[in-house]
Structure 1
Amino acid sequence: MPDLPEPQRHVGNLIRRAQQLHLATWARVASPDITSAQYSILAVLDRLGEASQRELCDEVDLDRSTIADLVRRMEKAELITRRRAEGDARRNVVTLTAHGAAERTRLAPLVVEVQRELTGHLDAAESTALFQGLWAMLEGAGRDRSSDSRA
């Protein structure tokens, strides 16, 4: 929107502000203790049963150091367990604990509520367009990163 002043007219500014809104809404509605990134790991492990830390990186699109820190904190909170993979001492395999599975189940409807609060004032077409636009932006960035890594 060229008629808006800086920085409001920049997509990056809007993304930053939307992320701040998401974080505040998440802490208020879902959990002040389990982050949305940690919830993503719980959801992936619930779906896959177990995953290596590398697989978690790919599934939730976070770098290795961030995943390592999240896994360490989640293990300390007894949400997950981590063990060395049989036959590969460099690979950690991560699984949900009973507590982690219970938290995943408890949080699932709250995650839906977070999304409803964030997008509830949008009509269906706007909500779909927002999702599709963000997805396309991230997919395009992913293609750019993969082509950069081949260079």
Structure 2
Amino acid sequence: MPDLIELPGHMIRRLQQIAVAVFQSELGAVGSDLTPVQYAALRTINERPGLDQATLAGLIAYDRATIGGVVERLLSKGLIVRDVNAIDRRARVLTIAPKGREMLDLVEPSVQRAQTVMLGGLDESEAAQFMRLLRKTITTGNES
């Protein structure tokens, strides 16, 4: 039986824990309590105003059952707005609020620093290869 540290699943889980800790540390330094998922949702809503929750969940690879909690937290922080869809009055659409744009402006340098810290043990070539392999593994996982 291989050592736990040799199992890809264990190492990926540890890397995810480290990535979240680095992200929260960098954003906390500028006074933000956004989580990685909240940041992904906020950024996606900014880039695609007027999308619905199900589409948002798909775009950030988050399960539809719990995206509602993420949206509710962003709404309660005043970072996004949920309105009735003008075309289908039964549907709701999400747009970023001015406070949300301000938050993105505030945290973007910290998000970029976090990415650098996460790959800190790798040189430029290794980081590029690591990212290529991550994309390949994720693509394969999405197809199965």
Common fold by TM > 0.5: yes
How big is the shift at 1:135? 0.9
Specify the alignment match of 1:27 in structure 2: 24
Q: How does 1:1-150 map to 2 (within 5 A)?
A: 5-31=2-28, 33-144=33-144
Gap regions ≥5 residues in structure 2 = none
Greater fraction of residues in strand: 1
Gap regions ≥5 residues in structure 1 = 145-151
- Write out per-residue CA displacement over residues 119-142 of structure 1, whole angstroms, 9 at most, x where no aligned residue: 122111210111111111111111
Q: Is the contact between residue 82 and residue 93 of structure 1 (CA under 8 Å) also seen in structure 2?
A: yes
- Write out per-residue CA displacement over residues 60-100 of structure 1, whole angstroms, 9 at most, x where no aligned residue: 01111221110011101111111221242442200111111
- Write out per-residue CA displacement over residues 29-81 of structure 1, whole angstroms, 9 at most, x where no aligned residue: 12361111111111112212231112211210111122111001110111111
TM-score (norm 2): 0.90
Q: Is the contact between residue 41 and residue 60 of structure 1 (CA under 8 Å) also seen in structure 2?
A: yes
TM-score (norm 1): 0.86
CA RMSD of aligned residues (A): 1.6
Amino acid at match of 2:14: R
Instruction: Report the number of matched residues.
Output: 141
Runs of 4+ in 1 over 4 A off after TM superposition: none
Q: Is the contact between residue 83 and residue 92 of structure 1 (CA under 8 Å) also seen in structure 2?
A: yes
Q: Is the contact between residue 51 and residue 94 of structure 1 (CA under 8 Å) also seen in structure 2?
A: yes
